Amino acid sequence: MLLNLSLAGLWGGLLSVERRAFLQAMFSRPLVAATGTGLLLQDPESGLYVGLVFELYYLGAASLGGAHSDHETLPSITAAALASCIAESARGPSTPAIWSLSILVCAPLGPIGRALENRIDARAVRYLGAALTSADAENFRRVARQNLWAMWPHFVVFGTLCAGAAALGNSVETFERALPLPLLRGLAWAYPAMASVAAGLAVRGSRTKKAALLAASAAGVTLVVLALTGRFP
């Protein structure tokens, strides 16, 4: 458990920095971030299927000038970590019911993460003037220190949230085990429903003339793929 917490926290912290301040090579996209979380926690299946829903959902959201309405990386990593740790606590394979429950629990972290990120970015502005002054004086070592001081809250805050999601796995597994069978079946059916709706939203966001038809087609294709891969409840 301690290893899972450390890995989830480290991965979440690094990708929160990669998303805003360093590299920006798209590793923080939901599908990559969640799949990487699953690989680190030895449950790539949970990471892949959780990341698929969040990736499709956030593909339909507008991104103007690098500004996002939500922090798409945070719910992706936390949901994948939560699903992986639930499956590990249950000592069984991951299931669509686990993925649905994890997505529902962690989805609200998108807007919460964005609010936190805005606060952290506002704090980082204080270091801009000092960094520019140091650069003019060719004191590049001090510039590097100012840059690190501006970035560390991203790593600490979001890394802690991701580690917390992994720590929550055991408690959520106990809750999930106590759920009645009809509700578990409902959660299992909710996963393909979420995936198909997210696929529709992704195409709908393209704003093409036939967006509605394409959205319905994308949802249908997603359902067929899930059925053929054996992930239909």
pLDDT, tens only, 87-131: 999 888 889 999 999 999 999 999 999 999 888 877 766 656 555
74: pLDDT strictly greater than 80: yes
25: pLDDT strictly greater than 80: no
pTM of the full structure: 0.81
* Percent of the chain surpassing pLDDT 90: 36
The boundaries of the domain holding residue 109 are 2-178
Q: How confident is the model at residue 151 (pLDDT cuts 50, 70, 90)?
A: confident
Q: Among 60-69, 112-121, 206-215, which stretch is predicted with the lowest mean pLDDT?
A: 60-69
Q: How confident is the model at residue 161 (pLDDT cuts 50, 70, 90)?
A: very high
Query: How much is the pLDDT for 219?
Result: 62
What are 64's strand-pairing partners? 67
Q: Tell me whether residue 222 is in a domain.
A: no
Mean pLDDT score, 54-72: 71
CA angle 19, 170, 183 (to 5 degrees): 95
Identify the helix (H) or strand (E) that includes residue 228.
helix 211-228
Tell me what the pLDDT averaged over the chain comes to. Answer: 80
Mean pLDDT score, 137-145: 59
Q: Tell me whether residue 66 is in a domain.
A: yes
Q: Tell me whether residue 189 is in a domain.
A: no
DSSP string, 199-212: HHHHHHTT--TTHH
Query: How much is the pLDDT for 217?
Result: 66
Q: Tell me whether residue 190 is in a domain.
A: no
Query: How much is the pLDDT for 184?
Result: 87
Q: Give the whole-angstrom CA distance, residue 28 versus residue 11.
A: 10
Higher-scoring residue by pLDDT: 126, 32: 32
3-class DSSP state of 29: coil
Q: Tell me whether residue 211 is in a domain.
A: no
Q: How many domains does the chain have?
A: 1
Query: How much is the pLDDT for 83?
Result: 95
Q: Tell me whether residue 216 is in a domain.
A: no
Q: Tell me whether residue 156 is in a domain.
A: yes
Q: Tell me whether residue 200 is in a domain.
A: no
Decide: 226 and 195 in contact? Cβ < 8 Å: yes
